[in-house]
């Protein structure tokens, strides 16, 4: 399978705990994006990387959120001190170089904070 | 303020009927993508439209990008129960890299 993969698919945690999600993009896609989707809404942009550089962060990305893409391949999204409002589907997408901006999404990680 | 207004948000029709979903904005998009999303899964790309006035067909689905690249529509002919799902439009704002999504249209086709 050469699509975008995300792990874990589901995560249940208690308020105040830290969680980390992983995204593996389509190979050779140099752009990687994180979005968050709450129930009944469309996805909202969080941040994106071009290779290993994080080029844009949304105001939605509070200081409890951090994303990395250290080698320009896979990416991690960490949420520290989780809150119930963090419960959502976290989606990763990737795209190829400029001129082909179509973004392909992974299956998502559904987070539930109790 | 929703940058991309998608309508209707819910639509329930009988098998065999036709339907149209609309996405409208005051912003110009360099491209617009339509996705379909199943419960608990990520959005799956249906089509990307890039040129103003462009029309693309995918079997019974017809996608159109407005001449000014501010709006788009999805038309389904002779809807089938297998078309049931959440349809999302998403626009790439000129000069930016992030997609802006509509609220989605939850479509139900009744047998």
The DSSP string of A33-65 is EEEEE-TTS--EEEEEEETTEEEEE-TTS-TTE
Taking contacts as CB-CB distances below 8 angstroms, the residues of chain B near A93 are 99
CB B103 within 8 A of CB A41: yes
* Beta-carbon separation of A35 and B99 below 8 A: yes
CA–chain centroid gap for A2, Å, is 18
What's the confidence (pLDDT) of residue A97? 67
Residues of chain B numbered 80-99 and touching chain A (CB < 8 Å): 88, 90, 92, 96-99
With a pLDDT cut of 70, the percent of chain A lying above it is 96
pLDDT below 70 — which residues of chain A? 1, 97-100
Q: Cα-flanking dihedrals φ and ψ of residue A63, to 5°?
A: -70, -5
What's the confidence (pLDDT) of residue B18? 97
What's the confidence (pLDDT) of residue B95? 77
User: Which pair of tokens denotes residue A72?
Assistant: 């320009």
Cβ-based neighbours of A99, under 8 Å, separated by 6 or more: none
Taking contacts as CB-CB distances below 8 angstroms, the residues of chain B near A33 are 97-99
Rounded to whole angstroms, the Cα distance separating B84 from B81 reads 6
What's the confidence (pLDDT) of residue A98? 63
Taking contacts as CB-CB distances below 8 angstroms, the residues of chain B near A55 are 97
Q: Closest-CA residue in chain A for B42? A: A107
What's the confidence (pLDDT) of residue A96? 81
- How many C-beta atoms surround the C-beta of residue A43 within 10 A? 28
User: Which pair of tokens denotes residue B4?
Assistant: 């991309």
- β-pairing, A44-50 with A53-57? antiparallel
3-state SS, residue B41: coil
Which of B80, B92, B15 is CA-nearest to residue A31?
A: B92
CB B90 within 8 A of CB B35: yes
* Beta-carbon separation of B43 and A106 below 8 A: no
What's the confidence (pLDDT) of residue A91? 98
pLDDT tens by residue, chain B, 111 residues: 568 999 999 999 999 999 999 999 999 999 999 999 999 999 999 999 999 999 999 999 999 999 999 999 999 999 999 999 999 999 998 777 889 999 999 999 999
């Amino acid at each position: 399978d050469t699509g975008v993969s995300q792990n874990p698919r589901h995560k249940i945690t208690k308020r105040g705990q830290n969680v980390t999600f992983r995204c593996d993009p389509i190979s050779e896609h140099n752009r990687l994006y994180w979005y968050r989707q709450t129930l009944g809404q469309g996805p909202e942009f969080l941040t994106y990387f071009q290779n290993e550089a994080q080029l844009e962060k949304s105001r939605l990305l509070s200081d409890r959120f951090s994303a990395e893409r250290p080698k320009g391949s896979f990416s991690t999204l960490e949420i520290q001190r989780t809150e119930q409002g963090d419960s959502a589907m976290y989606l990763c997408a990737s795209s190829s170089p400029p001129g082909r901006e179509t973004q392909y999404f992974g299956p998502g990680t559904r987070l539930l904070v109790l | 303020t929703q940058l991309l207004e998608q309508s209707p948000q819910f639509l329930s029709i009988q098998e065999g009927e036709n339907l149209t979903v609309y996405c409208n904005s005051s912003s110009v998009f360099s491209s617009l993508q339509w996705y379909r999303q199943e419960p608990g899964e990520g959005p799956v790309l249906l089509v990307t439209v890039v040129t103003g006035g462009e029309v693309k067909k995918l079997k019974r689905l017809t996608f159109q990008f407005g001449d000014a690249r501010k709006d788009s529509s999805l038309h389904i002919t002779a809807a089938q129960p297998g078309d049931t799902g959440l349809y999302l439009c998403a626009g790439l704002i000129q000069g930016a890299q992030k997609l802006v999504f509509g609220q989605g249209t939850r479509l139900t086709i009744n047998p």
